């Protein structure tokens, strides 16, 4: 009988100690653990699978596939293409990100109008196919190094514009991208926000989008991500594939250069 | 017919580990759409895993399982080159069956 209260006391002590020990690991660690558990079964793979089929499928008024689409590494080369985007394209005389380039390919090769995307809704109709193609293409650069070529004057110009846009404060809340993403240790709710002005932060952010979002079961492209950043700042939402979105991508990608591509990513 | 699953299976030391990613809405029947109408329930009810003719796993799923569910399990036996077949049935009577070769 004597040992019983002892045992009980030990059990109570253990029960009190346990939450204290748990509190030592920060919330960020908990989220990191959650992400690691999810990463094994990233549903973005389902988008990748669908996207690979769509890439090879004949579609649009011209009944052509995207297999001749030049993403910057020559017609039809997908491997490693997104790790080097955005880039300057001579044929369109524009700096393009993955999605604006895909719009060009769809228009020229397949005859699919950009209006399907510019006026389209996320996850619906042609936009859903765009998201699947994006998942496939970015998956083909997984584990490669981010390698954006900044040598052309057009890219330098876009970088300068992107940097300006990043720090540009406006809207009813007088926010800029830099309000949340310009310092270390900022967070939204419980999630740490990357400092996109530094290499580590930019590599973590740029390197892990596009991504699947577990909370809403949707796959978000970079254009969708940027659009929502602006919505959250209460800015007017930018036009799909517009220059400001590409400029911001150039700014992030250049800062992230040398980091690892982890796309398609997974977010809570 | 449902959307394709992504199945991976790997054998080591006489144990095969199977990882399945299913493509399914898994709608609970509790949610409402933007106009306030109830979204009808649509979820997987039964799942079956076979190695050859032998059933190695049977599971009952319900509305509490997430969208695009991921399932991982191990069974004794299985060798490289053999097949694992996964199939599911949902509450609307839809079904899907996919197979993978053990690597």
pLDDT of A261 over the 60 cut: yes
pLDDT tens per residue, range A11-55 = 444 444 444 444 445 677 877 777 777 777 788 988 998 999 999
The whole-angstrom separation of Cα B83 and Cα B67 is 26
The 3-state DSSP composition of chain B as helix, strand, coil percent (nearest 5) reads: 0, 55, 45
Q: How many CA atoms lie within 13 A of B45 on its CB side?
A: 9
Instruction: Give the contacts of A253 (CB within 8 A, at least 6 positions apart).
Output: A85, A86, A146, A148, A202, A206
pLDDT of residue A25: 59
Confidence check: pLDDT of A185 > 60: yes
Per-residue confidence band for A1, with pLDDT thresholds at 50, 70 and 90: very low
Q: State the Cα–Cα distance between residues B20 and B35, nearest whole angstrom.
A: 35
Question: For position A9, what pLDDT does the model report?
Answer: 47
Cβ of residue A121 closer than 8 Å to a chain B Cβ: no
Q: Which pLDDT does position A18 carry in this prediction?
A: 43
Does residue A250 have a pLDDT over 90? yes
d(CA B17, nearest CA chain A) in Å: 13
A80 touches chain B (CB under 8 A): no
**What residues contact residue A26 under an 8 Å CB cut-off, 6+ apart?**
none
3 state SS of A170: strand
Q: Which residue of B4, B68, B72 is in closest CB contact with A43?
A: B68
Q: What is the pLDDT along chain B (103 residues), one digit of tens a residue?
A: 778 888 999 999 999 999 999 999 999 999 999 999 999 999 999 999 999 999 999 999 999 998 999 999 999 998 999 999 999 999 999 999 999 999 8
The full set of domain ranges for chain A reads: 33-267
- pLDDT of A14 reads 44
**Residue among B42, B34, B24 at smallest CA distance from B87:** B24
- Mean pLDDT, all residues of chain A: 88
Q: Is A14 exposed, middle or buried (0-12, 13-18, 19+ CB in 10 A)?
A: exposed
Contact list, A215 vs chain B (CB under 8 Å): none
CB-CB under 8 Å, B4 with A45: no
pLDDT of residue A22: 43
Question: Across the interface, do B72 and A41 touch by the CB < 8 Å criterion?
Answer: yes
In this complex, the residue of A45, A214, A217 whose CB is nearest that of residue B21 is A45
Q: Is A49 in Cβ contact with B6 (below 8 Å)?
A: yes
Strands B44-51 and B54-60: antiparallel
Our CA-based measurement puts residue B31 at a distance from the nearest CA of chain A, in whole angstroms, of 13
Name residue, tokens 């991504």.
Answer: A211
| A17 Cβ neighbours under 8 A, 6+ residues apart | none
Chain B contact present for A74, CB below 8 A: no
Interface A-B, measured as beta-carbon pairs within 8 A, has a size of: 27
**Poorest-confidence range of A37-46, A124-133, A230-239, B3-12?**
A37-46
Helix (H) or strand (E) holding A168: none
Q: What is the CATH number of domain B6-101?
A: 2.60.40.10
Q: Nearest by CB to A46, which of B6, B66, B72? A: B6
Q: Which CATH number fits domain A33-267: 3.30.2010.10, 1.10.760.10, 1.10.4160.10, 2.40.110.20?
A: 1.10.760.10
End-to-end CA distance of chain B: 27
Cα angle, residue A206 at apex, residues A258 and A221 outer, rounded to 5°: 140
Mean pLDDT, range A108-120, rounded to an integer: 94
pLDDT of A23 reads 43
Q: Mutation test of the interface with chain A: which of B2, B70, B73, B74, choosing the one with the most A Cβ atoms within 10 A?
A: B70
Check B70 against A43: CB less than 8 A apart: yes
Enumerate the active-site residues of A.
229
Per-residue pLDDT at A214:
84
How far apart, in Å, are the Cα atoms of A44 and each of A216, A242, B47, B52? Answer: 13, 25, 22, 29
d(CA A102, CA A111): 12
Q: What is the pTM of this model?
A: 0.82
**Percent of chain A at pLDDT above 70?**
90
Nearest Cβ partner of B6 from A38, A45, A214? Answer: A45
Supply the ipTM of this predicted assembly: 0.74
Give me the residue spans of the domains in chain B. Answer: 6-101
A215 CB near a chain B CB, below 8 Å?
Answer: no
């Amino acid at each position: 009988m004597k040992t019983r209260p002892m045992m009980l006391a030990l059990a109570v002590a253990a029960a009190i100690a346990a939450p204290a020990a748990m509190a030592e690991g920060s919330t960020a660690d908990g989220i990191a653990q959650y992400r690691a558990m999810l990463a094994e079964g990233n549903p973005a793979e389902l988008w990748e699978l669908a996207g690979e089929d769509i890439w090879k499928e004949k579609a649009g008024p011209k009944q052509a596939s995207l297999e001749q689409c030049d993403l910057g590494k020559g017609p039809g080369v997908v491997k490693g293409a997104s790790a080097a985007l955005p880039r300057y394209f001579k044929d369109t005389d524009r700096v393009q990100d993955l999605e604006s380039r895909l719009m060009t390919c769809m228009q020229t090769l397949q005859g699919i109008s950009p209006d399907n995307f510019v006026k389209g809704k996320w996850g619906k109709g042609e936009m859903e196919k765009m998201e699947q193609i994006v998942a496939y293409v970015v998956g083909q650069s997984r584990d490669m190094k981010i390698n954006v070529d900044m040598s052309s004057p057009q890219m330098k110009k876009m970088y300068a514009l992107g940097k300006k846009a990043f720090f540009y404060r406006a809207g009813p809340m007088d926010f800029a991208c830099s309000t949340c993403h310009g310092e270390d240790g900022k967070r939204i709710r419980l999630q740490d926000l990357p400092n996109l002005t530094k290499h580590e932060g930019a590599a973590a952010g740029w390197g892990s989008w596009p991504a699947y979002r577990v909370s809403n079961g949707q796959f978000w492209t970079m254009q969708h991500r940027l659009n929502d950043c602006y919505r959250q700042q209460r800015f007017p939402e930018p036009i799909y594939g517009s220059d400001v979105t590409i400029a911001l991508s150039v700014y992030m990608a250049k800062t992230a250069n040398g980091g690892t591509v982890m796309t398609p990513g997974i977010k809570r | 017919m449902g959307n394709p699953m992504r199945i991976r299976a790997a054998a080591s030391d006489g144990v095969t580990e199977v990882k399945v990613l299913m493509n399914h809405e898994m709608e609970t029947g509790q949610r409402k759409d933007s106009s306030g109408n109830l979204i009808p329930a649509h979820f997987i009810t039964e799942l079956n895993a076979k190695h050859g003719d032998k059933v190695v796993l049977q599971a009952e799923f319900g509305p509490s399982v997430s969208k695009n569910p991921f399932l991982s399990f191990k069974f004794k036996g299985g060798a490289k080159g053999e097949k694992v077949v996964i199939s599911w049935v949902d509450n609307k009577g839809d079904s899907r069956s996919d197979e993978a070769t053990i690597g």
